[in-house]
């Protein structure tokens, strides 16, 4: 049969759907005329339709070779090439797909999909520059395809070019606003570009469009928690659990959100529910321990921390939690091993730096650990200092004090008198409160002492920073540092031209750009120690601690009323038990042994702590009854009144007394302190220098012991010291609240002048 007749029969059979017979006829034609373009073309189309892409391409290429200029043949070959390349690409065979895309582009240089997918293959192998070039060429051909812009944004994000990534994803979302995945991708980029509020909106939109978008849910919850919007995060997680009770993966974050709101018992319920299904989840055990600890269940907390460590022996956080419980309960059996292991692990940055304050570590170790901690916990890095000089000089400097402790808390007692003493003709004072309102008198006193009192507890970090910026604060003073519940995320957003850390945390924040200055004094933070801090030092001329709140009506209390024996020397230490340690307590027991009839008067501790301290005393040969625990008094006046009954205050080491030391000295009770190299180990020395009692400062435990024994055995010398303290209430810088306010204000004014001049250097208070 002639080729033309056979071809006509093949076409008729092909059109009738009799494909096997049609293929036979096409092959008959090709046996006679191997290069016949129509037979190759039609057989290629038939092979493609029957799932034989390699055969299809072989015949279509042959047809093109026969008639290179035939547009229909080119279109068929391009279509077959693209279908096969796309299938290979989707199945993960990108190396095989890539040359097919290239072949398409030799036939049709403007094939937008081949350009785009060539870019995605380059993206897959990490060649982002090439990827953006290919996708850019695709967009030049067709700028109405939203997918191209979306993937361009994805590539730029992988490349680290977030501005370009945002632009691409915005264009895609603008064209297809109901695409949940693109809304999610844009939300992630916005979060990385430090635009958290819009990021939340985009992630929420992704969740609304696709309720099962687990990645969007996860990012949204994490971002809300980073922003401090715990109630919204809780609502989001409870909605997930309502729709899918099996999603126990959210219970861990739900517990964290509840604990952040102070709802520790509810958090415990979440963790226990999670552990019922995942009993080997070390993270859940750790978080359960933390919630139990905050809830006031230390024994259960200790058991939870130990369980977490049994599952993951190298897990740092529960070891830090275990240490905190052991310290607070004065449970020192095995304490040294826990401290040693924790010190070895501290380089991992997984525990709060506050833990190290109670341990014998160097100042530079403290700084390095603080840096690692903030790098791990802050959602965005702090920008470096940007000097915004110029403009008119303000009539009054606007000082913002940021704290979660404007309540019945030592910081509140230390700061209240200062706030009242600020010179209002030169300073406007705004308190930004991130903590609970306990309704106590001290809270009301602080509210009354400020020009404005702003409760930012319900505001996200970004919203709080925006409020501070809009209020025009010149100097923002953070009073919490690295203590629990801090809002350093606000400082990281740089809402004020000058930012300061002071009072609440005895040490550096560890990361430049969070605070510009750290307020200290020549004893605690001498210029020679500047390398211990990432902030510039601003030194008050005397003690860095404000005089505190000693305006209470002091009550006269007898020894019997205070639970003290009528006779005998009274050593006292009203510090929290966590500051005690075996070495310190051993020296105290030596003092009781050296001074017959003496007692050690301590602040009321947890019942287990009392039991452990009595056990330690017994093992050191001291009658446990010589430890006297003072219960909490209804009023501060009663506490200050009973303090006068003590003969000598004993400081702790390496974390010295702070407010408790001030209270003792104001009450006329001399203090003995051991001074070290770290900030917290030099506070006692600073207090004594400011009080004019330098002879109370020693460098080691032997000197501490000898001085305490000498004073206990020479009451006349002790009486002289008491008289000096009492007389110094009217003249000592330690008790001069107005003088302290003027010194601090001079520091603030110098900080502001330096800011306007574009410089920052160590400030020495006059």
Q: Do domains 3-171 and 570-735 have the same CATH topology?
A: no
Question: Are 410 and 483 contacting, i.e. CB atoms less than 8 angstroms apart?
Answer: no
Lowest mean pLDDT among 166-170, 553-557, 608-612: 553-557
**SS3 per residue for 726-755:** HHHCCCCHHHCHHHHHHHHHHHHHHHHHHH
Q: What percent of the chain has pLDDT over 90?
A: 73
Q: What is the DSSP string of 680-727?
A: TTSHHHHHHHHTT-GGGEESSHHHHHHHHHHHHH-HHHHHHHHHHHHH
Mean pLDDT of the chain: 92
- pLDDT of 551 reads 61
**What residue ranges in 514-639 does DSSP mark as E strands?**
517-520, 536-539, 570-573, 599-603, 627-630
Q: What sign results for the dihedral spanned by CA atoms 326, 329, 330, 332?
A: negative
Q: What is the H or E stretch that residue 672 is in?
A: strand 671-674
- pLDDT of 86 reads 92
Spatial distance between the Cα atoms of 479 and 501, rounded to a whole number of angstroms = 6
> In angstroms, what CA-CA distances link 479 with 37, 432, 491, 606, 761?
84, 10, 12, 27, 22
pLDDT for 360 beyond 50: yes
- pLDDT of 552 reads 64
> In angstroms, what CA-CA distances link 570 with 573, 596, 642?
10, 11, 12
Question: Are 179 and 146 contacting, i.e. CB atoms less than 8 angstroms apart?
Answer: yes
Pairing of strands 475-478, 498-501: parallel
Mean pLDDT of 419-423: 97
Residue 97 pLDDT level (bands cut at 50, 70, 90): very high
Q: Supply the CATH classification number for the domain 3-171.
A: 1.25.40.10
- pLDDT of 9 reads 85
Q: Tokens at residue 107, please?
A: 């036939």
Mean pLDDT of 638-654: 96
Residue 390 pLDDT level (bands cut at 50, 70, 90): low
> In angstroms, what CA-CA distances link 450 with 31, 415, 441, 446, 500?
100, 11, 15, 7, 18
Spatial distance between the Cα atoms of 588 and 595, rounded to a whole number of angstroms = 11
Lowest mean pLDDT among 69-73, 136-140, 692-696: 69-73
Mean pLDDT of 673-695: 97
Classify domain 570-735 by CATH architecture.
Answer: 3-Layer(aba) Sandwich (3.40)
pLDDT for 387 beyond 60: no
Nearest to 576 by CA among 545, 608, 606, 618: 606
Residue 395 burial class via C-beta count within 10 angstroms: exposed 0-12, middle 13-18, buried 19 and up = exposed
Residue 380 pLDDT level (bands cut at 50, 70, 90): low
Lowest mean pLDDT among 106-110, 164-168, 462-466, 543-547: 462-466
Domain limits of the chain?
A: 3-171, 397-539, 570-735
pLDDT digits (tens, 9 = 90+) for 594-634: 999 999 999 999 999 999 999 999 999 999 999 999 999 98
The most confident of the ranges 490-494, 553-557, 709-713 is 709-713
Nearest to 605 by CA among 573, 636, 635, 637: 573
pLDDT digits (tens, 9 = 90+) for 716-726: 999 999 999 99
Pairing of strands 536-539, 517-520: parallel
Residue 25 pLDDT level (bands cut at 50, 70, 90): confident
Spatial distance between the Cα atoms of 154 and 123, rounded to a whole number of angstroms = 9
Residue 25 burial class via C-beta count within 10 angstroms: exposed 0-12, middle 13-18, buried 19 and up = buried
Nearest to 722 by CA among 658, 666, 654: 666
Lowest mean pLDDT among 231-245, 375-389, 411-425, 450-464: 375-389
Q: What sign results for the dihedral spanned by CA atoms 387, 514, 465, 167?
A: positive
Residue 10 pLDDT level (bands cut at 50, 70, 90): confident
- pLDDT of 228 reads 77
- pLDDT of 382 reads 45
Residue 550 pLDDT level (bands cut at 50, 70, 90): low
Nearest to 574 by CA among 497, 482, 671, 501: 671
Mean pLDDT of 578-592: 97
Q: Tokens at residue 80, please?
A: 């077959």
pLDDT for 386 beyond 50: no
Q: Tokens at residue 530, please?
A: 């500047």
Nearest to 226 by CA among 348, 423, 380: 380
pLDDT for 460 beyond 80: no
Mean pLDDT of 38-45: 89
Specify whether the backbone of 555 is left (phi greater than 0), alpha (psi in -120 to 50) or beta.
Answer: beta
pLDDT digits (tens, 9 = 90+) for 484-539: 889 999 999 899 999 999 999 999 999 998 999 999 999 999 999 999 999 999 99
pTM above 0.85, yes or no: no
Spatial distance between the Cα atoms of 240 and 215, rounded to a whole number of angstroms = 13
Spatial distance between the Cα atoms of 148 and 146, rounded to a whole number of angstroms = 5
Q: Which residues pair with 763 in a beta bridge?
A: 538
Query: What 3-state DSSP class applies to 520?
Result: strand
**SS3 per residue for 227-265:** CCCHHHHHHHHHHHHHHCCCCHHHHHHHHHHHHHCCCHH
pLDDT digits (tens, 9 = 90+) for 297-343: 999 999 999 999 999 999 989 999 999 999 999 999 999 999 888 87
| φ, ψ dihedrals at 428, nearest 5° | -110, 130
Q: Helix count (H) and strand count (E) of the chain? A: 33, 14
Cis peptide before 109 (omega within 30 of 0): no
**SS3 per residue for 39-102:** HHHHHHHHHHHCCCHHHHHHHHHHHHHHCCCCHHHHHHHHHHHHHHHHHHHHCCCHHHHHHHHH
Q: Supply the CATH classification number for the domain 397-539.
A: 3.40.50.11380
Spatial distance between the Cα atoms of 160 and 136, rounded to a whole number of angstroms = 17
Question: Are 302 and 326 contacting, i.e. CB atoms less than 8 angstroms apart?
Answer: yes
pLDDT for 30 beyond 90: no
Q: What is the H or E stretch that residue 403 is in?
A: strand 397-403
Q: What is the DSSP string of 451-479?
A: SEEEE-TTS-HHHHHHHHHHTT-SEEEES
Residue 385 pLDDT level (bands cut at 50, 70, 90): very low
Residue 379 pLDDT level (bands cut at 50, 70, 90): low
- pLDDT of 669 reads 97
| Length of the chain counted residue by residue | 766
> In angstroms, what CA-CA distances link 643 with 595, 664, 716, 721, 730?
20, 7, 20, 16, 19
Residue 549 pLDDT level (bands cut at 50, 70, 90): low
Query: What 3-state DSSP class applies to 212?
Result: coil
């Amino acid at each position: 049969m002639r080729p033309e007749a056979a071809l006509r029969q093949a076409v008729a059979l092909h059109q009738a759907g009799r494909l096997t017979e049609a293929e036979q006829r096409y092959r008959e034609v090709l046996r006679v005329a191997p290069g016949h373009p129509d037979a190759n073309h039609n057989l290629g189309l038939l092979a493609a339709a029957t799932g034989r892409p390699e055969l299809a391409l072989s015949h279509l290429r042959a047809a093109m070779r026969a008639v290179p200029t035939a547009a229909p043949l080119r279109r068929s070959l391009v279509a077959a090439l693209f279908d096969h390349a796309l299938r290979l690409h989707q199945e993960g065979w990108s190396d095989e797909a890539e040359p097919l895309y290239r072949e398409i582009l030799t036939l049709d240089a403007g094939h937008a999909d081949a350009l785009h997918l060539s870019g995605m293959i380059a993206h897959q192998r990490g060649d982002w520059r090439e990827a953006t070039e290919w996708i850019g060429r695709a967009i030049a051909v067709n700028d109405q395809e939203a997918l191209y812009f979306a993937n361009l944004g994805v590539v730029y994000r992988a490349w680290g070019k977030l501005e370009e990534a945002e632009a691409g994803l915005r264009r895609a979302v603008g064209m297809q606003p109901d695409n949940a995945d693109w809304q999610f991708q844009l939300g992630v980029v916005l979060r990385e570009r430090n635009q958290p509020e819009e990021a939340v909106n985009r992630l929420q939109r992704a969740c609304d469009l696709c309720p099962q978008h687990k990645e969007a849910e996860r990012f949204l919850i994490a971002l809300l928690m980073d922003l401090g919007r715990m109630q919204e995060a809780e609502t989001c997680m409870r909605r997930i659990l309502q729709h899918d009770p099996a999603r126990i993966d959210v219970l861990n974050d739900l517990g964290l959100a509840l604990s952040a709101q102070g709802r520790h018992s509810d958090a415990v319920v979440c963790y226990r529910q999670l552990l019922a299904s995942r009993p080997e989840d070390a993270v859940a055990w750790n978080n359960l321990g933390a919630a139990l600890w905050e809830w006031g269940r230390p024994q259960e907390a200790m058991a939870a921390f130990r369980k977490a460590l049994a599952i993951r022996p190298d897990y740092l956080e529960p070891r830090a939690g275990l240490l905190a419980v052991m310290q607070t309960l004065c449970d020192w059996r095995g304490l040294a091993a826990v401290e040693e292991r924790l010190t070895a692990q501290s380089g991992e940055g997984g525990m709060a730096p506050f833990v190290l304050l109670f341990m014998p570590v160097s100042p530079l170790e403290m700084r390095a650990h603080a840096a690692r901690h903030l790098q791990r916990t802050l959602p965005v890095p702090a920008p470096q200092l940007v000097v915004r000089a110029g403009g008119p000089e303000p009539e009054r400097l606007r000082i913002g004090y940021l704290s979660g402790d404007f309540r019945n808390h030592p910081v509140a007692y230390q700061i209240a008198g200062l706030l009242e003493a600020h010179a209002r003709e030169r300073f406007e004072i705004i308190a930004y409160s991130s903590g609970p309102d306990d309704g106590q008198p001290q809270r009301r006193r602080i509210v009354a002492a400020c020009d404005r009192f702003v409760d930012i507890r319900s505001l996200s970090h970004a919203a709080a920073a925006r409020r501070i910026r809009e209020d025009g604060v010149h100097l923002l003073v953070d009073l919490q540092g690295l203590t629990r519940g801090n809002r350093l995320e606000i400082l990281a957003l740089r809402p004020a031209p000058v930012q300061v850390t002071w009072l609440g945390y005895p040490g550096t924040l560890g990361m430049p750009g969070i605070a510009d200055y750290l307020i200290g004094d020549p004893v605690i933070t001498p210029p020679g120690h500047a390398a211990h801090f990432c902030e510039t030092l601003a030194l008050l001329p005397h003690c860095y601690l404000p005089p505190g709140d000693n305006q209470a009506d002091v009550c006269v209390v007898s020894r019997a009323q205070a639970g003290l024996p009528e006779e005998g020397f009274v050593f006292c230490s009203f510090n929290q038990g966590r500051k005690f340690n075996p070495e310190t307590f051993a020296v105290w027991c030596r003092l009781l042994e050296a001074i017959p009839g003496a007692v050690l008067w301590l602040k009321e501790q947890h019942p287990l702590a009392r039991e452990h301290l009595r056990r330690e005393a017994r093992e050191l040969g001291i009658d446990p009854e010589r430890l006297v625990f003072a219960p909490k008094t209804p009023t501060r006046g009663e506490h200050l009144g009973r303090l006068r009954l003590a003969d000598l205050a004993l400081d702790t080491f390496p974390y010295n007394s702070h407010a408790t030391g001030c209270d003792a000295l104001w009450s006329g009770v001399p203090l003995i302190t051991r001074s070290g190299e770290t900030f917290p180990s030099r506070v006692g020395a600073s207090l004594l220098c400011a009080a004019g009692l330098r002879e109370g400062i020693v460098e080691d435990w032997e000197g501490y012991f000898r001085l305490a024994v000498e004073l206990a055995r020479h009451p006349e010398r002790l009486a002289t010291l008491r008289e000096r303290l009492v007389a110094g209430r009217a003249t000592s810088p330690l008790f001069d609240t107005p003088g302290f306010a003027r010194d601090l204000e001079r520091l603030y004014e110098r900080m502001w002048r330096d800011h306007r001049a574009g410089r920052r250097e160590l400030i020495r208070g006059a």
